[in-house]
Structure 1
Amino acid sequence: MVPQPTVFIGIEPGSGHKACAMMVLDEEQHIQAQGCGDLADALAFAAGVSSAVVAINAPAKLNDIRGGRAAEKELLAQGAWIYQTPTTLKACPASLRRGLEVHQALAGMGYVPGPGGDAPRQKFEAPADAAFWSLLGLRPFDQTTLEGRLQRQLVLADAGLPVPDAMDFFEEITRHKLLHGLLPLEDIYRPEELNALMCAHVAWCSVCQPESVKFLGDSGEGSLAIPLAVQKQIPQP
């Protein structure tokens, strides 16, 4: 069992220079730090902590397995959506290329592929969309839509993260606001922030609730982790 790390970090690499998002949780899943924008800032934070588990919404390496990664094929067969990792860097979209850079940079800082036993610095892939699918039990709405953002924030709240109740959004909606294009989005996280929060949650689960996270694949093809839905006990009358 890895010692209790200081922090659990989730990183959404994004597709542009300023599109990265990072969320940092403590052992109680309280948000300790967050940031959006420069990927270098997220890497600088990871470099400055001595003990952490980092989950990234991107694979750690290109696909070199004939027929594709088994973990990705398993998730797709079950109904999740996950981008199948290409075999060449040229075929990767910008977000995957940036994700590969994140993994490489973290490896250079001494982060080992997780789950890594007693290693104080660990990292692994946590495909955010598949993670939301796993906790929902169905494919979520598109993350770029308002309903997708609300749905994902509700999922994170149910997972124990102290995020604002997304249902409050509807209490703030009025005819006047709709007619004037004024939506109360102040307490609704952006898609990249929601992905980073989910990754941080999976990192937290890997240590604090290891029975609630599943690792797929192996070190040869690059393993990935998704959270498992916890069955809530219904009190008996």
Structure 2
Amino acid sequence: MPIDFMLNSSPELARKIEQGAVVLLPIGQVEQHGPHLPVGTDTYIAEGVARRVAERLDGEIPILLLPAVWSTYSVDALGQWPGLIKVRTRTVIDLAHDIVASLLRMGFRKVLLLNGHGNNPGLLDTALRELADEFAAAPVLANVWSFSAEAFAQVRRSEPGGAIHAGEYETSLMLAMGYPVDMSQAPSGESFRFTSPFRARDTFAGKNLVTWSTWKLQQSRTGVYGDPTVASVETGQIVLEATVQKLVEFVREYYAWQPEAGG
């Protein structure tokens, strides 16, 4: 049976339900990512990682891959540049809720939302909490960058502030995945310079003790926060492999996990 959910027949899905399959739902966004990256970067990363995880586990555990959710919420500041297609925050919550609820009503019990967009975690977390209240199931949210953090920290070439939006991290992953990237257009001088003991310098440097919007703290000339000029295929390959492998390990654990009685 194919790993792509939409290529399965209804009887094939019924067998996957009987087998306790894990369903992967990539979630991204369409928005500008500077002059060098496609506007679909967040979606392509989530989708690309999810497919690699599913392909690696296929034949080991029952697994299905849904098409990506490609439009979610972004701050209005991103609309300064062409490319932003956004929906309202409650719409994101409701859409995630309703997709997962459909799967749970169908009989699936293990659903993993794999998110590649920075404005989504709080919204998706709310959706999953509401679902856990309604169903005897525990869908899970995983943010791609959280599974990349250790590997990226070991190989990054940018200074802190170099990997927030369309910086070294995302550019390297897109290069490694073979998507069109125009490095001749990668802007310099856009690293995040704001420093505070209460806020991370970038996605992989420091911790956020508060929520304090990047877009309010520093203006960007190009829509980039970070240093894409040091990105490379080699960095992307190392980070991509580590990210996929770590997610594979988690999905194995999630598949084997069974809730306690009454949970």
TM > 0.5 fold call: no
Bin for the TM-score computed over the shorter chain: 0.3 to 0.5
Compare the two structures and name the one with the higher helix fraction. 2
* Larger relative contact order (CA 8 Å, sep ≥ 6): 1
TM-score normalised by length of structure 1: 0.36
Larger Rg: 2
TM-score normalised by length of structure 2: 0.34
Compare the two structures and name the one with the higher strand fraction. 1
